[in-house]
């Protein structure tokens, strides 16, 4: 059975604001994807969220939350004096969200500082997932170390999935983001970009141009998401657009792309072809955007396992 590892930052999420009252949860792009992978995979599948955690009560609560939902933390270190990052979601009338972040003291920024711990966490994984946000929160040396460990795991036959998830405010410069994300393309076997992000960072004119550019870095499987539109699925030299099965008015688009990624990867691990996996991913994301917050209860997805 494939062991799944996701690398990144688990944050405290404040959502569902009602006056001065907020609902607290835990989320983060790579955690969201792993959440849906866990929910849509057989119960015997091992899953680990690889990060670094603080030694405060909220960090201990995070680890307990993950373990209560069948997600381990492998050899993730606990960093003295650090705490989780925090973000708050505000929504407009169309369900589109904006975020305010407080993450300067986040323990996850040190997730690649202990080379041996990170290598141990990834050892034996069948699927490794990470994102551009994972890269952006690290300093350049730690970022390079992370990519070298991921490449070593890929060379040991792990599948490596990467979502560039470009967030300009996290990067020192556009050039730095372009360079780091290009290196991550090289490390990956599956790339799951969002077209708007790729257009903003690289100037791609169409999803087809995104596929053409990323192909040169080596990944054989590329799925370009386009918000609520069709996903362009490109495997080797063939590509097809897979449209959502229905148009949905979103309640909250938080976690839409992350849940798409998790569902797509779960379907691929279950042996489904890429186009079928993309259609399944659309269906799962369609359920998620009718729910407030990034994480829906796992029990709502058990019957949907591919």
Pick one of 3.40.50.300, 3.40.1190.20, 3.40.30.10, 3.40.630.40 as the CATH number of 4-304.
3.40.1190.20
Residue 303 has pLDDT above 90, yes or no: no
**Residues above pLDDT 70, as percent of the chain:** 98
Residue 14 has pLDDT above 70, yes or no: yes
- b/e code 79-118 from CB counts within 10 Å (16+ = b): beebbbbbbebebeeebebeeeeebeebbbbbbbbbeebb
**Residues above pLDDT 90, as percent of the chain:** 78
pLDDT band for position 94 (cuts 50, 70, 90):
low
| pLDDT given at position 18 | 81
163: helix, coil or strand? strand
| pLDDT given at position 289 | 86
Mean pLDDT within 65-81: 97
Q: Are 181 and 163 in contact (CB under 8 A)?
A: no
| pLDDT given at position 237 | 85
The mean pLDDT value of the chain amounts to 93
Residue 95 has pLDDT above 60, yes or no: no
| pLDDT given at position 204 | 97
Mean pLDDT within 204-221: 97
Q: Are 260 and 281 in contact (CB under 8 A)?
A: yes
State how far the Cα of 202 lies from the Cα of 199, in Å rounded to an integer. 5
For residue 217, what is the DSSP state? T
The domain spans of the chain are 4-304
Segment 162-185, tens digit of pLDDT: 999 999 999 999 999 999 999 999
Tokens of 265: 């990867």
Segment 240-259, tens digit of pLDDT: 999 998 887 777 777 899 99
| pLDDT given at position 142 | 97
- State the catalytic residues: 258
Predicted TM-score of the model (pTM): 0.95
* HSE of 114, CA atoms in CB hemisphere, 13 A: 18
Q: What is the DSSP string of 226-284?
A: -TTS-EEEEETTEEEEE--SS----S--TTHHHHHHHHHHHHHHTT--HHHHHHHHHHH
């Amino acid at each position: 059975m494939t062991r799944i590892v996701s690398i990144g930052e688990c944050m405290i999420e404040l959502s569902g604001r009602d006056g001065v009252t907020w609902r607290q949860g835990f989320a983060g792009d790579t955690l969201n994807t792993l959440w849906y992978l866990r929910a849509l995979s057989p119960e015997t599948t091992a899953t680990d969220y690889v990060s670094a955690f603080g030694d405060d009560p909220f960090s201990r609560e995070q680890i307990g939350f993950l373990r209560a939902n069948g997600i381990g933390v492998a050899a993730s270190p606990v960093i003295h004096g650090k705490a989780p990052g925090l973000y708050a979601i505000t929504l407009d009338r169309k369900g589109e969200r904006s975020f305010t972040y407080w993450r300067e003291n986040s323990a996850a920024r040190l997730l690649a500082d202990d080379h041996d711990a990170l290598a141990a966490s990834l050892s034996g994984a069948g699927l490794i997932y990470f994102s551009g946000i994972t890269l952006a929160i690290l300093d350049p040396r730690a970022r390079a170390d992370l990519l070298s460990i991921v490449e070593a795991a890929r060379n040991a036959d792990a599948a490596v999935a990467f979502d560039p998830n470009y967030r300009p405010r996290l990067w020192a410069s556009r050039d730095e983001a372009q360079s780091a994300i290009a290196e991550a393309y090289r490390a990956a076997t599956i790339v799951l970009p969002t077209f708007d992000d790729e257009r903003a960072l690289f100037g791609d004119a169409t999803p087809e141009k995104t596929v053409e550019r990323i192909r040169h870095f080596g990944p054989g499987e590329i799925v370009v998401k386009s918000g609520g539109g069709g996903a362009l699925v490109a495997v080797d030299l063939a590509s097809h657009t897979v449209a959502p099965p229905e148009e949905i008015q979103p309640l909250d688009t938080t976690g839409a792309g992350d849940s798409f990624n998790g569902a797509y990867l779960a379907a691929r691990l279950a042996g489904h072809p890429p186009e079928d996996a993309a259609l399944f991913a659309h269906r799962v994301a369609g359920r998620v955007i009718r729910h407030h917050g990034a994480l829906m209860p796992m029990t709502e997805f058990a019957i949907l396992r591919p």
